[in-house]
Amino acid sequence: MRPERCGRRFASASQPRGPFHERKPNARRRSDGGLSNEREISLRSGAACAEALEGEGYKVTKVDVGRDIAERLAAIKPDVCFNALHGKFGEDGCIQGLLETMGLPYTHSGVLASALAMHKERAKAVLREAGVPVAESRVVSRAEAAEGHPIEPPYVIKPPAEGSSVGVYIIREDQTHPPQELHAADWALGEELMVERYIHGRELTCAVMGDEALDVIEIRPADGLAFYDYESKYAPGGSIHVLPAPLKPNVYQLVQKLSVAAHRALGCRGVSRSDFRFDDRPAGTGELICLEINTQPGMTSTSLVPELAAYGGRSFGELVRWIVEDASCNR
């Protein structure tokens, strides 16, 4: 794998009163090489965070991360590393382990929480034990998923350790076969897939800062988009965010309570974001299901956490300042 393909960005920042270093990443969207399929989003998150931190008075050094990241960080000697990476390597415990080894304070969750949250099936086991409702699922090989329905439709196929809806397929009741893409010779999302019962209803999300739940957003894909996929998440106008989500108070508060419970159960630090489905159709089940928890939420212009923070009275600059000042080792 060529070094440029696993690039990420970091930023180091310092303030007159005391230096901080902040980092930023690069992400890649394609799975044709590199360590993340979300490079594009990491680049956008990193650029936004660097600009905001500079506006807050920090000295920011951007680093495009490759295989030589340890040597580069040793030369820079940052006070704090702001992790704006998404996807593998950046949010699965790998970079966190490196920073712990180097003794460099960093933002967001630590090694164990990051690794657990990134693997959806293992995260579910922990959440289930903590009383957070999750959808029934199991892990199968790509060959098994491709040859016939591994569970009764409707269901969802997704790589167990990808983010931003990369590689997600929704199999409807009337589909006689799994998606043909699973047979592709150039498939690059791994040979292990999670199949999960499809949860009908509304898409909800809630962020946690420290131990405090922020508000709840309902996400509605724009016309022509099937679900809250990669395009919905990151293309301008790709989705409609309703804030606060139009829910009954008891449901709204339950989303917040479960978000904090998920954050604590996995041992998350800093900011996390939990995604839910709520089936309030007239003939629906009424269930509220946690789909997953994200330890490195997006920080782009269309991202949900900055929007939730702004609704609660925190500017984007104040949000990234809080994240940097929360940084530490042994997370």
| Active-site residue list | 38, 164, 234, 273, 275, 292, 294, 298
In the block, residue with structure tokens 């293309």: 235
Q: Pairing state of beta strands 192-197 and 155-158?
A: antiparallel
Distance separating alpha carbons of residues 228 and 206, to the nearest angstrom: 15
Name the burial class of residue 75, with classes exposed (0-12), middle (13-18) and buried (19+) by CB atoms within 10 angstroms of its CB.
Answer: exposed
Residue 267 in tokens = 């041992």
Name the burial class of residue 115, with classes exposed (0-12), middle (13-18) and buried (19+) by CB atoms within 10 angstroms of its CB.
Answer: buried
Q: What is the 3-state secondary structure (H, E, C) of 147-172?
A: HCCCCCCCEEEECCCCCCCCCCEEEC
Q: Which amino acid is at 151?
A: I
Residue 127 in tokens = 């959440």
* 6 neighbors 35 (Cβ within 8 angstroms): yes
Residues in a beta bridge with 61: 12
Distance separating alpha carbons of residues 302 and 55, to the nearest angstrom: 20
Distance separating alpha carbons of residues 128 and 146, to the nearest angstrom: 28
